[in-house]
Amino acid sequence: MEHLNNHTDQSTVTADQTMDLTSTPPSDRTLERVGWMSVGINILLTLLNAILGLLSGSIAVLAEAVHNLVDLIGSVGVVAGLKLSQKKSTDFPYGLYKIENIVALIIALLIFLAGYEISKEAIFSDSISVDVTWYLVTGVVLSIIIPVLFGRYELQMGKRGNSPSLIAAGQEFLMHAFSSGAVLIGLAGQYFGVDLDRWAGLIVVFFILQTGWELSREAIRALLDASLDSETLQKVQAILDSDPLTVQVKSVIGRNAGRYRFLEAEVVVRTHDLEKAETACHRMQETIRQEVPHVERVLIHSSPVVADHIICAMPVTEGGRLLTDCFCHAHSFHLSTINISTGQVGAGSIHENPFLTLEHGKGIQLGKWLVAQKIDLVLTPVEIDGKGLAYVLSDAGVEVRHTSHKQVAAVLTELTQQLLTRSENSGKITTQLCNKEEKTS
């Protein structure tokens, strides 16, 4: 059975890249506003460094101006990407979310181009004496402080919104702290009569290329549908495995598209009832949406369990050999694994009742605990119909049978005989069907 859930109104937050899951994610309008702020900051920094570079003749400062110009082009692309990624089209049923990844890749390519131009200028241009003035130093210091402050803000908003383009732009702003710092070192060298301007320009290039590599790598991974990070997939698997009806999680895969996540899972459930299986799928999807942020689609394939064994539970007295008539007040529970085809009983285990001293809601809590033990069958000498405990077990697909025996060994003997008889009858029916098909053919 397949169950598809498409949900575009995201009200959850990112899990890290690492984020506080209790914070409220920014709206699309807020993310666009951050993008426009980025454009404004880059215009300011481009003009500032260009004017300072032309007045002083510093290669390193002019390199920073080119760096800022590349960032400005990228910031315009970020805003365009944020707008276009939200457009809906019948030609693109899975959305245009990857436009943000394309924008991030374009920014990376522009960064590589800027690095090439700056390095060429630093290596082949004639050496020029730089006039180190107070306004030049002040401007360079401002070109460090402004990107750091805004870059931290943009990176934080990008992570909260899970926007790869804003994250890329924020990281690029933070790189200016290092590149402009190298410029400042170069100016200090010029002030003391040491020609470091050319080397400072090359240091700027190093940081530019490093940023470009990181951005291009992440963008290409997303465009090629690389898997989600292992931490997210493990979290999804834990959610699926914790559902009462889940017997086994066969697979969990996922990918990124822009700021959104697409997930697909295959689970085996403890029921042959399609309605119950569908309800379980809905329940798992809602839990995933609550705990894993920015999930655009969840596709869950569910199949009924074909078991070769069952796990049965019995309420027992303190010794663990006798069944008790007080189910919720039982001292312990005896759990046994039985092979359905052979009737072989595995080594049993005795678990103390963890809710023995609980005054209210004991039955429901006990039922949830038993379900968490992945049991298939409960054998009890006392009727539990009509109680919260019975509803919890029934909802999880756990069968409840009444037994008149008091000794655990006698109960297990009777159960194994029933299983063997059922297995033999099933084998006879299968043989008859095969013989019938042979005669027909």
Q: Which pLDDT score, from 0 to 100, does residue 356 have? A: 87
Clarify whether residues 240 and 329 are in a common domain.
no
Clarify whether residues 54 and 120 are in a common domain.
yes
Q: Which pLDDT score, from 0 to 100, does residue 287 have? A: 92
Clarify whether residues 99 and 245 are in a common domain.
no
Q: Are 189 and 195 in contact (CB under 8 A)?
A: yes
Q: Are 212 and 240 in contact (CB under 8 A)?
A: no
Residue 206 lies in a domain: yes
- Is this model's pTM higher than 0.85 or not? no
User: Could you tell me the CA-to-CA distances from 423 to 249, 309, 419 in Å, in that order?
Assistant: 27, 12, 6
Clarify whether residues 294 and 380 are in a common domain.
no
Please tell me the total count of domains within the chain.
3
Q: Which pLDDT score, from 0 to 100, does residue 155 have? A: 85
Domain boundary among 166, 199, 223: 223
Clarify whether residues 52 and 180 are in a common domain.
yes
**CA dihedral for 419, 423, 424, 426, sign (positive or negative):** positive
Q: Which pLDDT score, from 0 to 100, does residue 50 have? A: 87
Clarify whether residues 313 and 279 are in a common domain.
no
Q: How many CB atoms lie within 10 A of CB 240?
A: 24
Clarify whether residues 296 and 393 are in a common domain.
no
CA 230 – CA 218 distance, rounded (Å): 15
Q: Which pLDDT score, from 0 to 100, does residue 386 have? A: 64
| Bridge-based pairing state of the strands 377-380 and 399-402 | parallel
Clarify whether residues 294 and 381 are in a common domain.
no
Residue 387 lies in a domain: yes
Clarify whether residues 415 and 327 are in a common domain.
yes
Clarify whether residues 280 and 239 are in a common domain.
yes
Clarify whether residues 218 and 234 are in a common domain.
no
Q: Which pLDDT score, from 0 to 100, does residue 18 have? A: 39
The pair of three-digit structure tokens given for residue 376, joined into one six-digit string: 């298939």
Q: Which pLDDT score, from 0 to 100, does residue 22 have? A: 38
User: Could you tell me the CA-to-CA distances from 252 to 241, 300, 383 in Å, in that order?
Assistant: 11, 9, 40
Q: Which pLDDT score, from 0 to 100, does residue 85 have? A: 65
The residue segments making up the domain with residue 339 are 309-433
Domain boundary among 280, 304, 328: 304
Residue 438 lies in a domain: no
Query: CATH code at 248?
Result: 3.30.70.1350
Residue 15 lies in a domain: no
Q: Which pLDDT score, from 0 to 100, does residue 285 have? A: 92
Q: Are 136 and 52 in contact (CB under 8 A)?
A: yes
| DSSP calls for 318-363 | TTSSBB-S-STT-SEEEEEEEETTT--B---EEEE-TTTT--SSHH
Query: CATH code at 334?
Result: 3.30.420.130
Q: Which pLDDT score, from 0 to 100, does residue 227 have? A: 77
Clarify whether residues 86 and 208 are in a common domain.
yes
Residue 17 lies in a domain: no
pLDDT along the chain (441 residues), means of 10: 42 38 65 86 88 78 78 76 69 71 79 76 65 79 86 85 77 75 72 69 75 80 79 91 88 83 90 85 91 85 83 90 89 90 83 88 89 89 81 86 89 85 56 46 47
Residue 4 lies in a domain: no
CA 10 – CA 16 distance, rounded (Å): 16
CA nearest to 294, candidates 330, 334, 243, 254: 254
Residue 262 lies in a domain: yes
Residue 142 lies in a domain: yes
Phi/psi at 349 (nearest 5 deg)?
-135, 145
Domain boundary among 223, 254, 275: 223
Query: CATH code at 190?
Result: 1.20.1510.10
